[in-house]
Amino acid sequence: MAHDHSANKPKRILSGVKPTGKAHIGNYLGAMRNHVNMQQDHENFIFIADLHSLTTVKNKAELQELIIDLALDYLALGLNPERAVFFRQSDIPEHAELTWVLSCLTPMPMLELAHAYKDAVAKANREINVGLFTYPILMAVDILIYKPDIVPVGKDQKQHVEIARDLAGKFNRIYGDVFKLPVPYIPEEVAVVIGTDGQKMSKSYGNTIEIFASDKALKKQVMGIVTDSTPVEAPKDPDTIYKLYSYFATEDEKKTLLERYQAGGMGYGDAKKLLLEKIIETFKPFREERERLRNDLAYVKDVLKKGAEKAREVAAATKNEVWEKTGLSI
């Protein structure tokens, strides 16, 4: 009965986040807030997927800034390095080593069907590099090497967990059991977060509201939300402003704004001011903490270094099993 204690063991969760620039409300509601909350009752592994960035970022200073920015964002939002293992993927050489082993088991057609590659081909992107083609294998290793129970992903990432499961199953069948088959956890979507132009909030559309922007920049983003031409005195239907406001407001506050909208006499400008106040109030403590951490980058780098030491113990143990099973260790 050796396994009894495992029933009480917290489940291990793994999340990788690619550093892509300024965090916005869509990132926060869709993923970052969940990642931080999950540290309370799970064994939480969160890594900065900087190796993945190399498929697109070709500038040293830019990559370093993206990495530090993402680390600052998470720590400021409350990720606790005592509770979560927070590290950089590139600090763990085993990711790249196991990627080669699994590459030797991956059928070409599996990668030809992967979203990012198909997308690039559809857009006739001349710059498709081998990394973009094979990165689902690195992503599979990112997951499998830590043997997580649960991998929280958005709907668009579900395919990557399926590829990881397929490759894990194939390895286990050929060489013997090493990998745990991960289960994708698709959190209840925060219904798609709408951007300032009415489309899904996304950096590629340039329609984001950044959670760590200066007051001045934040004001410009919120006041720039596109609205219809309903006159001030006319009743209005709930719109982008109301939807964004409702993510951060209490039930009473939402009801009040809705009533004012429906009664007429409330202009979109007033509603935007309410939204701006609410965003500033919600993120003020996080923004202050981020400013404090920015002045102590030695601490931030130390957090990532210590996180890497913990992560590497787990990764190295998995690598040893793989080397043992495949015959690479003699």
Split at pLDDT 50, 70, 90, the class of 75 is very high
Q: Is the pLDDT of residue 4 over 60?
A: no
Residue 15 is encoded by which pair of tokens? 């999340």
Q: What is the pLDDT of residue 236?
A: 86
Q: What is the pLDDT of residue 244?
A: 93
Residue 163 is encoded by which pair of tokens? 């590829």
pTM: 0.92
Could you give the CA distance from residue 89 to residue 98 in angstroms, rounded to a whole number?
A: 13
Dump pLDDT digits (tens) for 33-49: 989 999 989 999 999 99
Boundaries of every domain in the chain: 4-192+297-326, 213-290
Dump pLDDT digits (tens) for 293-320: 999 999 999 999 999 999 999 999 999 9
Lowest model confidence (mean pLDDT) among 102-111, 167-176, 184-193: 184-193
Closest to 178 (Cα-Cα) out of 8, 312, 323, 311 = 323
Could you give the CA distance from residue 163 to residue 144 in angstroms, rounded to a whole number?
A: 11
Q: What is the pLDDT of residue 251?
A: 95
Task: Considering the domain delimited by 213-290, tell me its CATH architecture.
Answer: Orthogonal Bundle (1.10)
What's the average model confidence in pLDDT over 154-169? 90
Could you give the CA distance from residue 85 to residue 13 in angstroms, rounded to a whole number?
A: 10
Provide the b/e sequence for 47-72 (b: ≥16 CB within 10 Å): bbbbbbbebebeeeeebeebbbbbbb
Fold topology of 4-192+297-326? Rossmann fold (3.40.50)
Q: What's the longest Cα–Cα distance across the chain?
A: 81
Dump pLDDT digits (tens) for 80-116: 999 999 999 999 999 999 999 999 999 999 999 988 8
Tell me the three state secondary structure of residue 228: coil
Residue 76 is encoded by which pair of tokens? 């400021």
